[in-house]
Structure formats: structure tokens, C-alpha cells
Chain A
Amino acid sequence: MDFTFLLQLLINGLVVGSIYALVATGFVIIHKSTGALNLAQGEFLMVGAYVCLYAMTTFRLPFAAAFPLTLAFTALLGVLIERVVLRPLLGSPVISVIMVTLGLAGLLRSGLQFFFGTDTRAFPELFPSAPVMLGVVPVSQGYIWSVAGVTVLLTALGLFFRYSRAGLALRATASNQQTALSMGISVKRMFALSWCIAAVVSAIGGVLLGAIRGGIDMSLGHMGLKVLPVVILGGLDSVPGAIVGGLFIGVVENLTGGYLDPLLGGGVKEVVPYIVLVLILMVRPSGLFGRKKVDRV
């Protein structure tokens, strides 16, 4: 075990973790503003990857055209899902909403299988394959672009929430829906907006993941499940928590994969996030940055 190996694992972990962070952010945004847990988050990611792949291979569009198209498609899909599937459930118990997202996940997944089949599809090469030397460690250019992309996106989202009017309205809605309504905020539109943002960021995650893996198949949807340990760790209603949680889970996963899998015969990498999930739930159920509900009565 040398130092380069450790660095390599760390870098892999941070790269994958940054994508977890992105998808988890989408999850947190929906939870914060609407109170629902979206179990179809991983399927949004798959939709993004497959739509981009389809645009690039079947329509032979360059990435510069296929990518915006993918974003537009998923944005529309997010709004449509909120409108058609979730809005009729306004006022229903949270558990019904969660069940519906589970159904939605099945629907999206089957739809993708129907259109694209279950075979692994090669993802077009977006980044030059020659690695760049980062000190002693060779790092693929895809990784660098991916991390840079996620960083820019998360910063943009942060600024959006902090300074834009729509971001302010979203935060107000997340804080107190009735009061937001009295301030002239259309809560329904804010719900639609959060589904839209969640779908788009997940789709971007899907495209990046496709690009750095080189191929996509139905297992991409498992990322949606990975998001659960990430957000439980970070706190269900905290965007910074989603980022820290994502990076942490990514790194832990890769470190255990690198060091423990060879010793224990493999599979530890897949289990570790969920072990973290259980531990966190036992020790600190509201997560690292989650808000504990304290009401002044």
C-alpha cells in the first residue's frame, strides 16, 4: 500500500462524492420545500444520462447541443411530474407522497428499459482520455471536469438561494408555507420549481457519471439509493450537509473498497454507505447539519 494508492482512492472518492453531493442536493431541495422524500432521484439521474446519450448517438448532436437539450427535457419532466403526479396529492400524508415517488421510480425505470433496453450502452467520450498528472497521481481529465462542473453548479445554486428572488421565495416556502402564501408567494409554483431544479441537477449528475464511467446501464439508478445515506448523514434539510455528506460517503466508499475489499473478498464498498446510515441514525438522527425541530409553544 503506497501513498499514491491512497491519493488515488481519495481522488476517486471525491469525484464520485461530488456527484453524490449534486444528486443529494436535489433530494434536499425537494424535501425542504415540499416535505416529500423523492425516491425517484436516481431515476432522474438515469433519465439525464440516457437522454443525453440518445441525443448524441441517435441524433448525432454535438455535446454542446445535446447537453442543453437534456437539461431542458429534464426540467420539463420535473415540472410535469410535479403537476401531474404530486399536485393532486397536496395535503395528503407524507407517506402517500413517498409511496408515489417509489411508483414514479418504477415507471421511469421501466420507461427507460423499454426505450433503451437493458444492455450496457457505451457513453460517448466527452473528455480527452489522456490523464493529467496531479503531483504524482495521474488523474483522468473527466474527473477534473466533473469536479469543476459540480463545484460551479453548487456555487451557482448557493448564490441562487441566497440572493435571487425565486431563491428567497423557495426558502420562505420551506420555512413556512402558510406565511409564504400570505406574502404573495405561489407555493404551488415553488413546488414545481423545486422539482424542476431537483430533476435538472440529478440529470447533470447522470451525464457526468456516464461520461466518467464510459458506459451506462440500469444500475445507474442505484445512485438514488446511495443518496439516502448521504442526506441522512448531512441532515435531510441541509444543502451544505448534502455536499459534505456526499463527499464523505464517496471517500469512505472508495477507501474501504481499496483497502478492505481485497481482504474481505469484496462487496464492502457497496455496504459501507448503509452502515454509515445506520450508525448516524443511532447516534445523531437529525444528521450533521440537520435542523432539530424545536417549537416554542
Chain B
Amino acid sequence: MTAMALSIRDLFLSFGGVSALSGVSFDVRPGEIFAIIGPNGAGKSSMLNCISGLYRPQRGTIAFGETPVTGLPPHRRARLGIARSFQNIALFKEMSVVDNILVGRHLHARTRLLSAGFSLPSARISEKAQRAKVDEVVAFLGLGAVRDEPVGTLAYGVQKRVELARALASEPKLLLLDEPMAGMNSGERDDMVRAILETNAAHGVTIVMIEHDMGIVMDISDTVCVLDFGRRIALGSPSEVRDDPHVIKAYLGEEDD
């Protein structure tokens, strides 16, 4: 058996007395699209924040491939190959599209501070390579027309695409997407779905995504994990999950006896 892309074991997270996650476990296989769904407040974003390292769970372990990452700060996890987008767009608003994506390349430029500061030849070659990769991502997501615009001025759907571009620029092994389709019109959704599928297929990137659009989730996911009140109530293929009585109960409420 090959190693899992991501192994979550018995995760507990609480804020004060309120528990956001209580004992959640699951595995994500390499190369799959793994969706986390659940009603509002189910702990989906908390889960993503635990994986990317912005939250530190009180108990439980997270392993990325064979590497335990539970205690690592977010920037170290990013360096291992975990990239993410945020539910509320978290771009560097006053910076241009290209600069935002370049930040995603940040961890690939191995030049040291001093050589970059003095613009030594080694730093400049690396800079050129960075720009080339950025151009590739810009083309991939069709952002050429807005590449030098400050991100804050762009339409919502475009900003979402920039965020994905920035995450892709880091050439991640694992991509965490927090509601990538939220607030988009149907044309923008189609574009985003295509971008996600292509990223997954062409680059072999494992994707863990939170999404509310059930149609899309059922269409593109390999595995669906359902959370409710911080607990995992179902896990399986889209069709398994769709027919699960716990899931129906969580979404539709319980019938009166």
C-alpha cells in the first residue's frame, strides 16, 4: 500500500469551550479530488486551517505523505508543498496580479537574501525562471489581460482565479481550496471547475476542497467527507454519501416521529 497524500487522525480543535472538531479522521489518496462538505459551522474551514497550519489542533495528528506536520508552522508546511486558497479572498490587494502570483513562487526561489539584495547573477537567473513560471500560470488561468492590474480592482470571479493562480505557482503537491466557487456566476464556475480538473489531471495535484455547490461536488469529487458539528458523519464516494441517512438528516433535518 502506498502512503496516503494526507492522513488526519483523531483531530480535536476547540475555541474556548466551543469545539470545532471532535475526533475527525480521514485519509486522502494521492491524486484524488477530496471534497469536505457539511452545513454551516460544521468545522470545514477549521479542518482546512488545521491542515495548512493556521490553527493548531489540541489533539490528533496530521501527516502529509510520510511527514508528520502537526507541529509545523504554516510557512514550513507551504514549503513542503501544501498550498491553499481562502474562503474570503485573501490576496495582496494593492499588489498587481503578477506580483501576487510571484509571492506564490516565493518558496521556489532559493536565492539568499544577500545575493538577491545585491542582484547577483545567480539571483537574476532564478528571477528569470520565476517570471517564466508565473507567465505559464497566467496563461493557464487566462489572466493575461489583467496581469499588471492591482488585484483589488478586479471582479470577484477574477480575484478567485488569481488566488488559484497564486496557489498553483508554488507547484503544490496538495492544494486546499476553501469554497473556490462561492459567489461566482455559472460561467465563472465552469471556468473554475475546468481549471481544477485540469490542475488535478495534468499536474497530478491532490485537491482537498470545501464546496457548497452539491452538483459540482458530486460531479468532480472522488471522495466526499461530510462533517456536522465537528464530527465526521459520512465518508465515501459521492453516490455512497448522497444516499447516507446521516447526511440526509444533517442537511434536511429529522422527520418527526
Where the two chains meet, the residues of A that have a C-beta atom closer than 8 Å to any C-beta of B are 160, 163-166, 168-169, 171-172, 175-176, 178-187, 193, 291
* Interface check B253, CB cutoff 8 A: no
Cβ-neighbour of B104 out of A176, A178, A183 (below 8 A): A183
Assess whether B84 is interfacial by the CB under 8 Å rule.
yes
What residues of chain A lie closer than 8 Å to B229, measured between beta carbons? Answer: none
CA distance A59 to B116 in the complex (A): 33
Q: Report how far A171 CA is from B117 CA in the complex, Å.
A: 15
Q: Contact string, B113-124, partner A, CB cutoff 8 A, digits 1/0?
A: 100110100010
Set of chain A residues within 8 Å of B104, measured between Cβ atoms: 183
B67-104 CB contacts (< 8 Å) to partner A: 73-76, 78-79, 83-84, 86, 90-95, 99, 102-104
Given A160-B117, A179-B86, A291-B94, the answer on whether A184 and B99 have CB atoms closer than 8 Å is no
Residue of A nearest to B152 (CB): A296
Instruction: From the candidates A165, A172, A186, name the one contacting B109 in the complex (CB within 8 A).
Output: A165
Which residues does chain B contribute within 8 Å of A181, judged by CB atoms? 53-54, 73-75, 78
Pick the residue among A165, A172, A176 that contacts B116 (CB under 8 A).
A165
Q: Which of A163, A184, A193, A291 contacts B75 (CB 8 A)?
A: A184
B117 touches which one: A164, A180, A186 (CB < 8 A)?
Answer: A164
Contact between chains at B111 and A172 (CB < 8 Å): no
Q: A179–B163 Cα gap in the complex (Å)?
A: 11
State whether A178 touches B106 (Cβ < 8 A): no
Distance in angstroms from B74 CB to nearest chain A CB is 4
A182 touches B74 (CB 8 A): yes
Chain A binding site: helix, strand, loop or mixed by DSSP?
helix
Q: Determine if A184 and B90 form an interchain contact, defined as CB atoms under 8 angstroms apart.
A: no
Q: How far is the CA of A93 from the CA of B95 in the complex (A)?
A: 27
Residue of A nearest to B166 (CB): A183
Footprint of A on B, CB under 8 Å? 52-54, 73-76, 78-79, 83-84, 86, 90-95, 99, 102-104, 106-107, 109, 111, 113, 116-117, 119, 123, 127, 130, 166, 170
Q: CB-CB < 8 A to A172: which residues of B?
A: 92, 95, 103, 106
Q: Known: A172-B95, A183-B103, A183-B170. Is A165-B111 also a contact (CB below 8 A)?
A: yes
| CB <8 Å contact, A182 and B52 | yes
What residues on A are CB-neighbors of B95 within 8 Å?
Answer: 171-172, 175
Contact of A164 among B73, B84, B116, B166 (CB under 8 A): B116
B106 pairs with A165, CB closer than 8 A: yes
B52 touching A175, Cβ below 8 Å: no
9 A/B residue pairs, CB under 8 Å, sorted by A: A164-B119, A165-B130, A168-B106, A171-B99, A175-B92, A176-B91, A182-B75, A184-B79, A184-B170
Shortest CB-to-CB span from A13 to chain B, Å, is 31
In the assembled complex, the CB of B3 is this many whole angstroms from the nearest CB of chain A, namely 22
Q: Are B127 and A165 in contact (CB under 8 A)?
A: yes
Given the known interface contacts A172-B92, A172-B95, A176-B90, the answer about A183 and B117 at a Cβ–Cβ threshold of 8 Å is no
Give the contacting residue for B93; candidates A160, A175, A184; CB below 8 A.
A175
Residues of chain B within 8 A (CB-CB) of A171 are 92, 95, 99
Query: With a CB–CB cut-off of 8 A, which chain B residues contact A185?
Result: 75, 103, 106-107
| Chain B residues, CB < 8 A from A183 | 75, 78, 83, 103-104, 106-107, 166, 170
Per the bound structure, the CA–CA distance linking A55 and B53 in Å amounts to 47
Given the complex of chains A and B, what is the CA–CA distance between A184 and B54 in angstroms?
A: 12
Q: A172-B95, A176-B92 are in contact. List 8 more A-B contacts (CB 8 A).
A: A160-B117, A166-B117, A168-B106, A175-B94, A183-B78, A184-B107, A185-B75, A193-B113
Given contacts A164-B116, A165-B111, A179-B86, contact A184 B106 (CB under 8 A): yes
From A163, A164, A165, A187, residue with most partner B Cβ within 10 Å: A165
The complex places the Cα of A171 from the Cα of B91 at a distance, in Å, of 12
Nearest residue (CB) in A for B81 is A184
User: Chain B nearest CB: distance from A83 CB in Å?
Assistant: 16
Q: Is the CB of A168 within 8 A of B103?
A: yes
Chain B residues with Cβ under 8 A from A160's Cβ? 117
The verdict on A179 contacting B127 (CB below 8 Å), with A169-B106, A193-B113 known, is no
Contact B102 A166 (CB under 8 A): no
User: Nearest 10 CB-CB pairs, A to B?
Assistant: A184-B78, A184-B107, A175-B92, A181-B74, A179-B90, A172-B103, A184-B79, A184-B75, A164-B116, A165-B109
Whose C-beta in chain B lies nearest to the C-beta of A169? B106
CA A175 – CA B94 in complex, angstroms? 8
A187/B106 in contact, CB under 8 A: no
Most buried by B among A168, A178, A187, A291: A168
